[in-house]
A and B are shown apart, each in its own frame.
Chain A
Amino acid sequence: MLKTFISLQWKSFFRAASFQTNLAIKILMGFLALYFIVIFTALGTFSFHIIKDQLNEDPLRVVNKILIFYLIADLVIRYLLQRMPVVNIKPLLALPFSKNKIVHFSLWKTVISFFNVIHAFFFLPFFIVLLVEGYPPIQATAWFVMVTALIYSNNFINIFLNDVDKVFYAALTIVAVFAGLMYYGVFDITKFIAPVFDWVYDHPLWVVIPVGVLAGLYYTAFRYFKNRLYLDDGLQRKTQEATSEDLSWLNRFGSLAVFLKNDIKLIKRNKRSRTSVLMSVFFLFYGFLFFSGGLEVYEGPIWRIFAGIFVTGGFLFTFGQFVPSWDSSYYPLMMSQNIKYRDYLNSKWWLIVIGTIISTILASFYLYYGWEVYLAIVVSAIYNLGVNSHMVLWGGAYIKTPIDLTSAKRAFGDKQAFNLKTMLFTIPKLVLPLALYGAGHYTLGPNFGYFLVALAGIIGFAFKDKVFNLIEKVYKNEKYKTLVAYKQNS
């Protein structure tokens, strides 16, 4: 029986549409996975000594201190990315498998998921270093078992979280508040939580608690699943009550309004697009890495523009990048209806413009680091509006991956990210503004650098019509290929 399951799993993995892409992508994905593995292993191996040398504290206690944040971050990442095992159960239901087996198998399947295994690459080397450094083996083992149990607990917690969006966002806010309080030294939550982890290390027998929690969660997940193993319950696609909204105020945009109204509904009503827009909020904070001077590698002056492009371009990159894939599920309609390409593109462009302007306004908190920092952001925003907005729309014509709007989850590495043509498009998107700024900065000073970048943006703006003609042509040329591509596994 188990053999049948495993062979099914094997086939579903190797015959998945996303797996049967070309070799170059597979190699790139392989490298990406390898990169993560190496990074984590290196962290695990060297962090012990780094922490010891830098902080002069017991590395294990330091890790315990941040462990809670590590676990929460893990949970957030899982929530956003890890897919639930419910899929593919349906065809098994009517076959002679016992329900218990199906549920056990689905749950165990998640155990070998990338999201669990990756942590081993950090904690295993760290654990070995602990042993080498002469930490008592029993205590260290207890600690390691506890961490593993907690990470797997996350795995099962995520199964429930998936069903309750509101709880998740509420929890996220609370965590953010605690992190903020700790950062500004008002209230340090880790003072209360770290001792719990320390306790297990100091008294190894207590490891039964996290292991018990894990067992309990597994059992609960099992029960939860088994009870809901009906087509009209757990296996049913969730349906929301539809809400109509009046967006007629958008009518002032003339013929664009039709599409703008539609796009706003698209963003609001689909999980995938909502997640994307949410991600663009994270981009806003990316600048902290640069401007707070936290990372030495980013000290060079041209990195300011780099940060600015990302801070103001969150929406541009997360949403704009995938035009027209957002409309992939009804592309034949768009192609046969009474629609002008120009209007369609224009409406997407306006959305990007609105998104970028909002990001720029929100980013004004960077004024805290001085007006020059904010100037870099504004200049980058102009570049984003004038040049990058065209670039993403142009590049989008070559991305032919259909988007399943209803599912927010995509196991890491959406393949369209590794399209050779889209890679080429990152040059004008990122490299050019950096080069322009660099050229100005090192000849006549920073202001000239800003001037050059802004000028490029304004020139791009001026040529909007010309560029749109070009993009329109590309879209028309690619039309049939795009239609075929969207038909597949959509």
Chain B
Amino acid sequence: MISLHQLTKTYKSVTVLNVPSLEIPKGQSFGLVGNNGAGKTTMFSMLLDLVRPTTGYVLNNDIKVNESEAWKPFTSAFLDETFLIGYLTPEEYFYFIGELRGQNKADVDKLMSGFEDFFNGEILGVKKYLRDLSKGNQKKVGIVATLIGNPEVIILDEPFANLDPTTQIRLKKILKELKETQDVTVLISSHDLMHVTEVCERIAVLEKGEVVRDLQTSPETLKELEQFFSGVLQEA
């Protein structure tokens, strides 16, 4: 579904990302872990054609993302709060995204009714603009909005950060359900090794812009990852 070819990004002779080849098949739940500055957000931004690659290209369903825009209808993403429109209420935001993705109000309402638990009564009908919601609640809105319009690719940057424990557990449930569906490819980045191992079938470790581990998730994966990162610590 998504493939990276000779993808590099260089800022003033500092290479922040260098991925010669990476293939993410359709339906896979793909996790990306790495320390601060490892290049996770840069990589996701390049998948969305928000950052121009220095070399190489990204294919999304065989469409070159920096040449055509045909990948947009089936791809959705939430990287940070710049994906939210601060002066809209959550409902208006959902409808707006819905309209962009060819869903009418009723479709969106139907989808939202499935997330009442996740929202915990703090999102719908609270008469607040998105800019006045707490960071955690903003995140909930952003994450749920990516599910509108049956996207085939969902990209989430640090979805667990800023969420309270209950919501983290509920989010994991949502992501696990997505894992079961064969036609949705999910890409997640996280600092939390435990969460990713739980919800992803495959985990790649990014270190200084390079993929240094690429693991199919198994009962041992968490241990392996912990070992890797404590090793990184000792080196530093």
For A480, the closest partner residue in chain B by CB is B52
A405 to chain B, nearest CB (A): 7
Can you list 28 A-B contacts (CB < 8 A)? A237-B132, A239-B132, A240-B132, A241-B127, A242-B127, A243-B127, A244-B92, A258-B99, A261-B96, A266-B87, A269-B87, A329-B86, A330-B82, A330-B85, A332-B50, A333-B82, A333-B84, A335-B48, A336-B50, A336-B75, A336-B77, A339-B72, A340-B69, A405-B86, A406-B131, A483-B50, A487-B82, A490-B82
A residues 251-297 touching B (CB-CB < 8 Å): 258, 261-262, 265-266, 269-270
In whole angstroms, how far apart are the Cα atoms of A331 and B96 in the complex?
A: 15
- Using A241-B127, A490-B82 as known contacts, list a sample of 11 further A-B pairs with CB atoms less than 8 Å apart, ordered by residue number in A: A242-B89, A242-B128, A244-B89, A258-B100, A329-B85, A332-B79, A335-B48, A336-B50, A406-B131, A480-B50, A487-B82
Check B83–A338 contact: CB distance below 8 A.
no
Instruction: Please name all residues of chain B whose beta carbon is closer than 8 Å to the beta carbon of A241 when the two chains form the complex.
Output: 127-128
Check B128–A239 contact: CB distance below 8 A.
yes
Ranked nearest first, the 6 interchain pairs of A and B with the lowest CB-CB distance are A269-B87, A239-B132, A333-B83, A336-B48, A258-B99, A480-B52
A residues 448-490 touching B (CB-CB < 8 Å): 480, 483, 486-487, 490
Check B100–A338 contact: CB distance below 8 A.
yes
Say if the beta carbon of A54 comes within 8 Å of chain B: no
Say if the beta carbon of A56 comes within 8 Å of chain B: no
Query: How many residues on chain A are close to B (CB under 8 Å)?
Result: 32
Say if the beta carbon of A337 comes within 8 Å of chain B: yes
Question: Given A242, A262, A480, which contacts B51 in the complex, CB threshold below 8 Å?
Answer: A480
Check B129–A335 contact: CB distance below 8 A.
no
For A243, the closest partner residue in chain B by CB is B127
Check A265–B72 contact: CB distance below 8 A.
no
In whole angstroms, how far apart are the Cα atoms of A218 and B51 in the complex?
A: 51
Check B49–A335 contact: CB distance below 8 A.
yes
Instruction: Please name all residues of chain A whose beta carbon is closer than 8 Å to the beta carbon of B84 when the two chains form the complex.
Output: 330, 333
Check A330–B83 contact: CB distance below 8 A.
yes
B185 to chain A, nearest CB (A): 16
B residues 82-134 touching A (CB-CB < 8 Å): 82-89, 91-92, 96-97, 99-102, 127-129, 131-132
Say if the beta carbon of B73 comes within 8 Å of chain A: yes
What is the count of residue pairs linking A and B with beta-carbon distances less than 8 angstroms?
Answer: 87
In whole angstroms, how far apart are the Cα atoms of A339 and B73 in the complex?
A: 9
A475 to chain B, nearest CB (A): 12
Check B89–A262 contact: CB distance below 8 A.
no
Check B73–A338 contact: CB distance below 8 A.
yes
For A258, the closest partner residue in chain B by CB is B99
For B47, the closest partner residue in chain A by CB is A336
Instruction: Please name all residues of chain B whose beta carbon is closer than 8 Å to the beta carbon of A483 when the two chains form the complex.
Output: 50-51
Query: How many residues on chain B are close to A (CB under 8 Å)?
Result: 36
Which of A237, A330, A335, A339 is packed against the most chain B CB atoms within 10 Å?
A330
A residues 329-388 touching B (CB-CB < 8 Å): 329-333, 335-340
A residues 225-241 touching B (CB-CB < 8 Å): 237, 239-241
A267 to chain B, nearest CB (A): 10
For A239, the closest partner residue in chain B by CB is B132
Question: Given A265, A332, A338, A480, which contacts B87 in the complex, CB threshold below 8 Å?
Answer: A265
Check B101–A332 contact: CB distance below 8 A.
no
In whole angstroms, how far apart are the Cα atoms of A115 and B138 in the complex?
A: 38
A330 to chain B, nearest CB (A): 5
B37 to chain A, nearest CB (A): 16
Instruction: Please name all residues of chain B whose beta carbon is closer than 8 Å to the beta carbon of A269 when the two chains form the complex.
Output: 87, 129
In whole angstroms, how far apart are the Cα atoms of A87 and B122 in the complex?
A: 29
Instruction: Please name all residues of chain A whose beta carbon is closer than 8 Å to the beta carbon of B73 when the two chains form the complex.
Output: 338
Chain B window 39-68, contacts with chain A (Cβ cutoff 8 Å), 1 for yes, 0 for no:
000000100111110000000000000000
Check A262–B96 contact: CB distance below 8 A.
yes
Instruction: Please name all residues of chain A whose beta carbon is closer than 8 Å to the beta carbon of B79 when the two chains form the complex.
Output: 332
Instruction: Please name all residues of chain B whose beta carbon is closer than 8 Å to the beta carbon of A265 when the two chains form the complex.
Output: 87-88, 92
Instruction: Please name all residues of chain B whose beta carbon is closer than 8 Å to the beta carbon of A237 when the two chains form the complex.
Output: 132
B69 to chain A, nearest CB (A): 8
Check B52–A333 contact: CB distance below 8 A.
no
In whole angstroms, how far apart are the Cα atoms of A111 and B114 in the complex?
A: 56
In whole angstroms, how far apart are the Cα atoms of A331 and B76 in the complex?
A: 15
In whole angstroms, how far apart are the Cα atoms of A265 and B86 in the complex?
A: 11
In whole angstroms, how far apart are the Cα atoms of A357 and B85 in the complex?
A: 29
Question: Given A239, A243, A339, which contacts B100 in the complex, CB threshold below 8 Å?
Answer: A339
A83 to chain B, nearest CB (A): 19
For A335, the closest partner residue in chain B by CB is B50
In whole angstroms, how far apart are the Cα atoms of A482 and B102 in the complex?
A: 27
B190 to chain A, nearest CB (A): 20
Check A240–B131 contact: CB distance below 8 A.
no
Instruction: Please name all residues of chain B whose beta carbon is closer than 8 Å to the beta carbon of A244 when the two chains form the complex.
Output: 89, 91-92
